[in-house]
Amino acid sequence: MDLHIGPEPDEGRRAGLERALRDAVRDGRLAPGARLPATRRLAEELGVSRGTVKAAYDQLVAEGYLTARQGSGTVVAPLPAAGAGPPQSGARARAPLFDLRPGAPDVGAFPAAVWLRAVRRAVAAAPVSAYDYGDPLGRMELREALAEYLGRARGVVAPPERILVTSGAIQGLALLTRVLEGGTVAMEDPGLPFHREVVRRAGGRVVPVRVDALGVEVDDLRDPAAVVVTPAHQYPTGVTLHPSRRRALTDWARARGALVVEDDYDGEFRYDRQPVGALQGMAPGQVVYLGTASKTLGPALRLGWMVLPPHLVAPVADAKLHSDHSTETLGQLALAELIRTHAYDRHVRACRLRYRRRRDRLVERLGARRRVHGIAAGLHALVEVEDETAVLERAAAEGLAVGSLREHWHADGSREGLVLSLIH
């Protein structure tokens, strides 16, 4: 390892070396477990005798900053964090015994071996240009693979030149809001609070639009620049947007020159119904399609995509360029390889079967006395309860973490319920 330390000129060599090493350990520049250079090598680099370095090491071992074992070299000892107090006690400090909060896939099902093979093949075949700065739209290999997959599996009209690769749906939503230059964005009520905050922080003004048993209430829309919807499996109610509402929504967008943003976050997962195609296929010129690998593979990949109407490709690409320039390349190439070889399809089908079994077990445990919604598809369910606060308190006392419907309303909502993961 290279070690950057600098004894002060007016210090003795040994004292200066001890002080420099001690400071490096204290301020974290030398992390616990880091192996120090051999005494002979460090002596040569610093222009001091090997005996001076050994004496400094021995002193810091005696003080507890370093540890030394025969044949293992000298390493930095673990130290307590600065300002660390005693461990917290009480129910709030304990992790739940069972976590049914929604929002994440089963990351334990990540196909690590398949992904590793895809990375190896992608890197072996990658041109030299793959290691340069990337196109803000993303690698053409992935855009072409997505065009084929989205058209086949989700009914999306997705020419590669209208696909932009992002670090996830959140970035896509933020980029669009920036392009709308602070316009009004209607968002489902109830809906995900974090998404509302993303729009606000990107400069948009958020207004609610009600969701009922048929999906978003199109008649509630006034004159927003855009409306964000989850038509395949509404979050958190689990409603699928009714065909009549789909037509009304796309007609509204055409008549007003407005934008519909379709968040298809879990559209691949269906259990008791035929696949419902993406809304974007009905109106490619008015709908922005947001997709992501976070729910199918894992959030750690930070890979998502947008399918844009033609007039938005250039401005959104410019916003991407001035946001983070481009999404990392090697992950794009690996995902393209997964899709091209249909390993992605196989993984999604395997997850679908696994999640369906877990869904069935959850519904069985809940019993017939509970009204459960949204279980025909997706990664979560809504369970009706009469007293949400009481149920949440009882669940917490039993070590069970669940999602609350109350926190999803823009303001106070009259309906109460629990939002449960179907997959944990």
pLDDT given for residue 93 in this prediction: 47
Give the number of other CB atoms < 10 A from CB of residue 265. 23
Round to whole Å and give the CA distance between 2 and 28: 15
Round to whole Å and give the CA distance between 166 and 87: 40
Query: What mean pLDDT is reported for the chain?
Result: 91
> Where does residue 103 fall: left (phi above 0), alpha (psi -120 to 50 degrees), or beta otherwise?
left
Q: Which residue has the higher pLDDT, 81 or 116?
A: 116
pLDDT given for residue 90 in this prediction: 46
Q: Which residue has the higher pLDDT, 369 or 103?
A: 103
Mean pLDDT of 61-78: 87
How much of the chain, in percent, has pLDDT values that exceed 70?
94
- In order of start, what are the domains of the chain with their CATH numbers? 13-76 (1.10.10.10), 98-106+348-421 (3.90.1150.10), 108-345 (3.40.640.10)
Contacts of 243 (CB under 8 A, 6+ apart): none
pLDDT given for residue 92 in this prediction: 46
What's the predicted TM-score (pTM) here? 0.82
Mean pLDDT of 185-209: 96
User: If you average pLDDT over each of 53-67, 116-130, 407-421, which comes out highest?
Assistant: 116-130
pLDDT per residue over 272-329, tens digit each?
878 889 999 999 999 999 999 999 999 999 999 999 999 999 999 999 999 999 999 9
Model confidence at 198: pLDDT above 90: yes
DSSP 267-287: TT-BSSSPPPPPGGGG-TTTE
Q: What element of type H or E holds 403?
A: strand 403-404
Model confidence at 1: pLDDT above 50: yes
Round to whole Å and give the CA distance between 80 and 74: 19
